[in-house]
Structure formats: structure tokens, C-alpha cells
Amino acid sequence: MWRAWDQREERYVAAKVLRQSDAPTLLRFVREQAVRVEHPHVLTPLGWAGDDDRVLIAMPLVRGGSVATLVGDHGPLPTVWVATLLDQLLDALARIHGEGLVHRDVKPANLLLDATGSGLPRLRLADFGIVTGVDDPRLTHVHHAVGTIGYAAPETLRVGWDPDPRADLYAAGLSAAEMLLAQRPGADAAGSLADLLVRQGVDSGLVTVVLDLAAAEPGERYADAAAAREALRATGLVASPQTWDAGEVEVFDQVPELPAGWGAAGPEEGQTGPTSRSGPTDLGPVAQEATSSTEGGGAGAGSRLGMALLGLGLLLVLAAGLLALLG
């Protein structure tokens, strides 16, 4: 992952750089860049461009880490946090599903957060690399699991499964449970999930919503994300800007400071080329100029890419692929 300066929009963005020779990764890229959904809680690509054997995909820079890092930092989140974040996730899923799409990889690491401090949190559903349409032909090989084990609905592991939005609801339920418990419930924990939540002292209304989302059979879940959101809001636990009280939890800005030669307004005068050709080091950023006149889409279509890339320190690249921890 890279942090990039968009010369046309004059802002920093996040960027993935892929090699065209990596077919599986490139397929994820093709799926992800094809998603064009405008929604306050959905994070989709801004555009892309290609140069030689590399492809770059740019997307908004989200600075507050992810729900996974928030839980890792704070442990079990307060009920109001979980209800509010789940409400935003269900809002995002309602929009995605309304476009005929199934995300297939909903999990805390793909729920990014704006750096709102102690203010009302703002969630962004990210990583559409394995998104599919409900009417798309199945491309998955027999016995090849899709999604992340532990969040994937049981039916998705069966041969011949057709993409169904209710699989995303299952993953949303387990993600909410993880926020409440600060532990991953696990693929075989659904039967004991109720006991875990009750022992944690979770509000009974929220317990009901989470369990109905995470029901083992699709027919036992909510009909859709809108119905789940309605049930969640009926608990009275979802906060508004007027009623929000963060307590001791805060979402900090987790993006490292800019290296020398770069400022809030972009690269400083004279900062136009590489400062090193040895590639990213552990903590030493590397600047590169990425330009392309190849065919592209969105912000990179048919023109120079116009982005100065700041290389990541390898210690800042997390296995979860968080967009926010860029340097």
C-alpha cells in the first residue's frame, strides 16, 4: 500500500500497486475497481491506471484504522459504539445489496474508520476484491472457499452456493459480536454466542439483533439489511450526533507524519522524483513519481496518472491490509 498525492484533486489518497503477472490479485483488482457506489459508509476506488507491468488503483485515504485495530486497542467496545457502528454497516450493506452486489468479505479488518477522535464514529465498508453480483455466474471452483473463515456464512462453504446478500448479514453479526467480546467468535461458536454475549452483560435487545444476524440458516436471518437496521434502531441504542457519548474510546489519526519534502499541500518545490531506488525500507519512506498514458478508468483514464507515491515502511504494512496505516 502507498500514500499518494493526487495532483488534479490536490489531496492525499491511498493507492494499491499490483503487478499484472499476479493473476489472482489482478482479478481482485478488476472486481474492486468496477464497483462504483456513492455512499457515506462505502469506500470504493477513485480510479486506476496502468504502466508496463504494474496497475495502480486509488481510493480515499481513511485515517482512523479499522474496527479490528479499535477493538485491539480498547478491548470490548461499549454497547453504544457497537450499535452505532453496526447501524452504519447495515446502512452500507443495504446500499450495496440494492445495487445487486454481495460483498462476501465483511469483517472488522475491512471496516475502516475516519479519525473522529471522541466524536461520533464514521465507518467505511472497504475491500471489494471478491465482490460479486447476485446474478453473476459462479466462478469459484468446487471446494474453494470464498471470504474469510470465521466470518463466512455456513452456506457459502457448500458446493453450488449462489451468492446471497444474507451471507453478508451473517458476517455483520459476527463482526458485531467481535466488537462486543473483543474476541473472534469462531466458525463453531454460533451455538454458544448467546451465552458469551449474556455473560458480557450486553443489552438484551442488541443480543437479539446480533443472534438473528448470525443465525446458521439464511432463512432464520433478517430478510435484508434494511430489516435488520430497523430492528437495531428499535432497541434505542443507536446514537445520533446529539446523543453521542464516546466514553473512554477514541478513534485517533493513525497515519504517520509526512516525510521530509512533503506537506499538507503536497510535495514541496523540487520534490519531483525518487529519493531512493532501493525500495521501501522498514521505516524510511521512498518517494516515486508514477505517470502513465495507458488506457485506464476513473481518475486515471487516458492521461498521466499525476500521483507522487510515498513508499510504505514495511513495518507499517499490516496483514489485514488496512488502508489507514500508510506512511
Closest by CA position to 101, among listed 84, 77, 125, 81: 125
Instruction: Yes or no: say if 213 and 169 are a contact pair by the CB < 8 Å rule.
Output: yes
Query: What is the chain's length?
Result: 327
Angle at 68 between CA 78 and CA 11, to 5 degrees: 110
CA–CA separation, 214 and 154 (whole Å)? 10
CA–CA separation, 149 and 183 (whole Å)? 15
User: Which of 91, 105, 127, 168 is labelled catalytic?
Assistant: 105
87 among known catalytic residues = no
CA–CA separation, 246 and 120 (whole Å)? 7
Q: Which residues are catalytic?
A: 105
